[in-house]
Amino acid sequence: MVGWLVVLSACNLSAPAPPTPLPTATSAIPQAQILYPPHNQRVVEGIIFDIDILASDPAAGIQRVELYVDEGLLQSSETETGQEQYYRMTTNWLAKGIGWHKFSAIAYRADGTASHPHVIALEVVPPS
């Protein structure tokens, strides 16, 4: 009898909690994406390479795009009209500082609404 009491008290007959929904991209804010280079790529120190960014906001348009490297602003580029639905920015960076570096792209509307940062990491390696 005591055994059954222990077994029954250990049972949880309540319904499981609903799953937490995964976050999804929303068109309510601008979007920024670093197209090149890919995340986790290795680059040789001393090499200059291109960084390609695509920003989009079909609802209100893009006014500017900013690219940060290790939290410091590398490049800011403004669109001609401040209302382009799609805007592509290309810049370059001299690979320096052995180790990992964080690149963040942010797109802005004319009213200041910002995208979530699109972040990639690149590893700078010494020349062989």
Mean pLDDT over each residue of the chain, to the nearest integer: 87
Instruction: Report yes or no on 6 lying in a domain.
Output: no
- Per-residue confidence band for 8, with pLDDT thresholds at 50, 70 and 90: very low
pLDDT digits (tens, 9 = 90+) for 93-113: 999 999 999 999 999 999 999
Instruction: Report yes or no on 77 lying in a domain.
Output: yes
- What is the domain extent for residue 90? 28-125
Half-sphere exposure of 120 (CA within 13 A, CB side): 18
Instruction: Report yes or no on 18 lying in a domain.
Output: no
Inform me whether the pLDDT recorded for 17 exceeds 80. no
- Cα 88 off chain centre by: 16
pTM score, two decimals? Answer: 0.77
CA distance 36 to 71: 19
- Domains of the chain: total: 1
